[in-house]
Amino acid sequence: MKKLLYAIAVSATIITGCGKDDEPTPTKVPVEGEITGDITANKTLAFGNYTLKGMVKIQSGVTLTIEAGSTITADKSNGEDGLVVLNGGKLIANGTSDNPIVLTEKSKVAGSWAGIIMYGDAPIVNSATAPAPQVATSEDGLSLSYGGSNAAHNGGSLKFVRIEYAGQVITTNNKEHNGFSFYSVGSGTVLENLVSYKGNDDGFEFYGGTVSGKNLISYGNSDDSFDWQDGWRGQENTNWFAYQTGIGNYGVEVETKGVNNAFWPKVTNITLKRAAGTVTEAQSEIQLDAFQFKSNGNGEFSNVVIDGYINQTTPTAFNGGAVQIRDLVTYDNQVLTGKIKITNVKLNNTPTVFITGATGFTVSATSFGANWGLTTTATGASIAKGKWATVDGVDLLANL
């Protein structure tokens, strides 16, 4: 009798354990699809795997939403591919740490496609004489106008998005792409937890505008990790990590096309690291410093770690260092007036601190005064690991 009661009790437990509330959640099956042509009406791409064909443009007044975990793959053999957000359009691509949105290319060769290009109408300044609002023409081959007076422009939201093997350069300075290209994008746009991985040009480039980026990783891009011009003035940037390996130029390249602006961008918590053996992209000029300022470029940076910016011995001998001031006008207008501020700086394996890029001046710590400061306690970027920052089993933050 006791055995019978025990058997009944066990059976009841099994039946209870298989109740509706305890049924396993079914695995979500990714859809398959293609993205091509202009996006002319609001559209949501359900979780899935998509092929990108051509320069897909999100038109003004239209929102494209991409669900978390989706993968979009370009194929360079089919021609030029890219995802373009025109001014007035919006891209909502909000992945998660474990389910990022990945935009990649079939061959896994750097420079195979155009990445994400976003346009806005936030302010730019690239002329000392032209009245506001100023405009310019893009250098991506689309030859589109950018610039305006809408500082709060909203181009959408990008969170936990990774771009791989972009940076296609077709004609230098006239038709070239980065991982992420932001043309006069405004502060209403959200850029958080983004990766630009092994591109053939810059990882992130800002062409004016007021947008800021948080938790940005530029890994293995063969030109500059971070680059800006046209008076970009984002104020809330934090946690930037550049890891240059194989081929790479500047960690950060800054210019304003010669305009002596009264404003500058701000970045807190930044780590710039250059792996041993990394060489410059071209051997025609020196491009291997952590920071390079030219043409009245400026900025405010705090809690900075600079690691591995040493002299290059082969194939061409170049001197490298932490900070290069490229020209006399930048030295006079930006360094001596306190518009370049780099404080709470920790140097590792970077024996040369300052590089003077022209004649007529010598840059030193004295030049900066209180706007330069070394420390042993700076921590640099602090970014949480996850699948969003892992490629083919490689943790992109392992060297942070």
Instruction: Give the number of other CB atoms < 10 A from CB of residue 3.
Output: 7
Query: What is the token pair recorded at 395?
Result: 């943790």
In a domain, 64, yes or no: yes
Q: Convert the pLDDT of each residue in 123-155 to its tens digit.
A: 999 999 999 999 999 999 999 999 999 999 999
Question: Among 184, 177, 163, which residue's Cα sits nearest to residue 103?
Answer: 163
Instruction: Give the number of other CB atoms < 10 A from CB of residue 211.
Output: 28
Domain that holds residue 315: 32-395
User: Above 60 in pLDDT, residue 100?
Assistant: yes
Mapped onto helix, strand or coil, the DSSP state of residue 101 is strand
In a domain, 13, yes or no: no
Separation between Cα atoms, residue 208 and residue 136, nearest integer Å: 10
**Using CA of residue 241, residue 245, residue 248, residue 250, what is the dihedral sign?**
positive
DSSP 220: S
pTM over 0.75: yes
What's the pLDDT at 317?
A: 86
Looking at residues 380-385, what average pLDDT do you find?
A: 98
What's the pLDDT at 17?
A: 42
In a domain, 24, yes or no: no
In a domain, 7, yes or no: no
Q: Convert the pLDDT of each residue in 341-368 to its tens digit.
A: 999 999 999 999 999 999 999 999 999 9
Q: What angle do CA 40, 46, 47 make, to 5 degrees?
A: 140
What's the pLDDT at 11?
A: 37
Separation between Cα atoms, residue 68 and residue 386, nearest integer Å: 14
Which residue did the predictor score with more confidence, 328 or 1?
A: 328
Query: What is the token pair recorded at 227?
Result: 């680059």
User: Above 80 in pLDDT, residue 170?
Assistant: no
Q: Convert the pLDDT of each residue in 267-306 to its tens digit.
A: 999 999 999 999 998 876 678 999 999 999 999 999 999 9
In a domain, 96, yes or no: yes
Separation between Cα atoms, residue 141 and residue 3, nearest integer Å: 81
What's the pLDDT at 178?
A: 95
In a domain, 25, yes or no: no
CB neighbour list of residue 145: distance below 8 Å, 6 or more residues apart: 135, 136, 137, 138
In a domain, 47, yes or no: yes
Total domains present in the chain: 1
In a domain, 272, yes or no: yes
